[in-house]
Amino acid sequence: MSERETGAHTVTDHDLARAREVLLAGGVVAFPTETYYGLAVDPFNQVALSRLFALKRRPPDRPVLVLIENRQQLPQLVAEVPPPFEVLMDALWPGALTLVFPGVSTLPAMLTGYSGTIGVRLSSHPVARRLVQAFGAPITATSANFSGQPAAVDAAGVIDQLGPDVDLVLDGGNTPGGLGSTILGFAEGQVHLLRPGVLPFADILALLPGQ
């Protein structure tokens, strides 16, 4: 049965300590982000990843993005940082921007969707940021839903859709819903839009002279 931690939508340090325990044990934690609720597991735990994909009924070739606490955690995940991404991280992180980097060779293949690349974001939501901080390492942040279904925008929606398969739900109140994070890649010297999202691509390109 899922635990639902709430106190007038206040996530406490005790709640976060419990979430850390769940993640360390290979469990699944639902939490709010600046777009909708996400599902966290330890991205380096193959068993936890397999469970996450099974829970979401997600095809194995669909990668899962991760959240970091700060840019100092990037070397755990990425092999190199394209120069335009440095500009975008300076301007738009924390925020609803996911950047897809070449992944380090040690990443689980399932995490990258067998692509060798990894989507990374630094969230602007206080609960998401505190969860990554409490865990002390990157976490997954795939949307809290069955693949192909609408993502949950509140704790009740997580429980209604995913039920007891989620070990802990951090109730941070309602999230905006709507569009997810904007996802960008880099190839042949250019930044490319991989998925439209909250941040308009035209506004992002305006930060990159010559793109």
pLDDT tens digits, 189-208:
999 999 999 999 999 999 99
Per the CB < 8 A criterion, the answer to whether 113 and 60 are in contact is yes
Average pLDDT, the chain: 93
- Does residue 74 lie in a domain region? yes
Share of the chain above pLDDT 90, in %: 90
Is the per-residue pLDDT at 14 higher than 80? yes
- Does residue 51 lie in a domain region? yes
- What average pLDDT does this structure show over 72-79? 97
pLDDT-derived band at 210, boundaries 50, 70, 90: confident
- Does residue 93 lie in a domain region? yes
Residue span of the structural domain in which 41 resides: 3-205
- What average pLDDT does this structure show over 83-98? 97
Is the per-residue pLDDT at 209 higher than 90? no
- Does residue 40 lie in a domain region? yes
- Kindly give, in sequence order, each residue whose CB lies less than 8 Å from that of residue 73, ignoring residues fewer than 6 positions away: 137, 138
Is the per-residue pLDDT at 211 higher than 80? no
CB atoms within 10 A of CB 137: 17
- Does residue 106 lie in a domain region? yes
Residue 52: in which H helix or E strand, if any? Answer: helix 46-56
**Domains in the chain, number:** 1
- Kindly give, in sequence order, each residue whose CB lies less than 8 Å from that of residue 27, ignoring residues fewer than 6 positions away: 41, 48, 167, 168
pLDDT value for 8 = 40
What backbone phi and psi angles, to 5 degrees, belong to 100? Answer: -100, 115
- Does residue 211 lie in a domain region? no
Share of the chain above pLDDT 70, in %: 96
pLDDT value for 9 = 66
Per-residue pLDDT of 110-145, as tens digits, reads 999 999 999 999 999 999 999 999 999 999 999 999
- Does residue 210 lie in a domain region? no
Calpha distance 103→207 (Å, rounded): 25
Q: Which of 8, 43, 35, 56 is nearest to 135 (CA)?
A: 43
Calpha distance 101→161 (Å, rounded): 31
pLDDT value for 1 = 37
Assign residue 58 the CATH number of its domain: 3.90.870.10
Pinpoint the alpha helices (H) of 57-149: 83-92, 126-135
- Does residue 78 lie in a domain region? yes
